[in-house]
Copies of this chain bind each other. A is one copy, B any other.
Amino acid sequence: MTPNWIAADWGTSNARFWAIGGDGTVLGERTSDKGMGTLDPSEFEGVLVDVCADWLETANTVVACGMVGSRQGWVEAPYQTAPCSVCPATMVTAPVTRVGLTVHVIPGIRQMNPADVMRGEETQIAGFLAQNPGWDGVICLPGTHTKWVHVSADEVVSFQTCMTGEMFALLTQHSVLRHSIAKGGWDDAEFADAMSHTLSRPEALAGRLFSLRAAQLVNDTDTVILRARLSGLLIGAELAAAKPYWLGREIALIGADAVSMPYVAGLKMQGVPVLRGDAKDMTLAGIKAAHALLETA
């Protein structure tokens, strides 16, 4: 079978491409480290052609999601405004030089008040809904910027971003805490204790961060324990902020295992049922859903 079209998840740091056959079968998958962050608008087409040259012999259509559609990307795909359908009303076509090639870019979604944006997650949500028709509830997409999204009647009703992942990276890599936090390792009890503490007393957070450093200086506390404790403090703060999204609901959590783990642990501690989905699978399913819209248009 030959590739019929190409699906692309083109983010800030990396890009992933799939060759899709006429019946929707995935014929191949490739990645590139040429993310949006490293490219000028004029360079995207070259990367696509380099990585997918043989596929492009038969595939003339590309459907792409992610930061490729941001203002600094290949072409700006203006945000849809929530509440809105999870499936894109329109896609934007990127400028290309190769004859016959058409690249469709899926728009992100914005929310006016409180101001918020997503770009890429909307496609994972569309993929989840394609696989779970009629789902009504809250989807959490953990990552550098975790999204909590209320979905109802195939629409994104409202959402909230917490930059917990980025905060953890900043504190462990750039702050005074970097001396005291292990690069890996985990401790369930310490995570649970710290998470419960900030969830029940979110006002204490600002006073507890430096205490991690001090605990090492004063009590020689193990740096693996401090890693779990920092994660607990930050996830607790996020769960406190996102409480209206998860309280009394079932949560669909879409993300890789490593980044999802503390969320799963935290939500289970609060008695919240968690349904898991794989981010890559959902992305591909969402791009396929957008491609199907093209065919029916």
**Interface residue ranges of A55-71 to B (CB < 8 Å):** none
Q: Find the B residue at minimum CB distance from A240.
A: B203
Could you mark each residue 16-46 of chain A with 1 if its beta carbon is under 8 Å from any beta carbon of chain B, else 0?
0000000000000000000000000000000
Tell me if B161 and A176 are in contact (CB < 8 A).
no
Indicate how many identical chains form the complex. 2
Chain B residues with CB below 8 A from A164, complex form: 206
Tell me if B163 and A175 are in contact (CB < 8 A).
yes
Tell me if B145 and A210 are in contact (CB < 8 A).
yes
- Which of B160, B203, B204 is in CB contact (< 8 Å) with A207? B160
Q: Find the B residue at minimum CB distance from A234.
A: B206
Count residues of chain A with CB under 8 A from any CB of chain B.
Answer: 45
Among listed A92-100, A182-190, A215-223, interface-contacting one:
A215-223
Tell me if A115 and B211 are in contact (CB < 8 A).
yes
- A241–B205 CA distance with the chains assembled, in angstroms: 7
Chain B residues with CB below 8 A from A160, complex form: 207
Q: Does A242 contact B (CB under 8 A)?
A: yes
Tell me if A240 and B206 are in contact (CB < 8 A).
yes
Q: Does A277 contact B (CB under 8 A)?
A: no
Tell me if B110 and A206 are in contact (CB < 8 A).
no
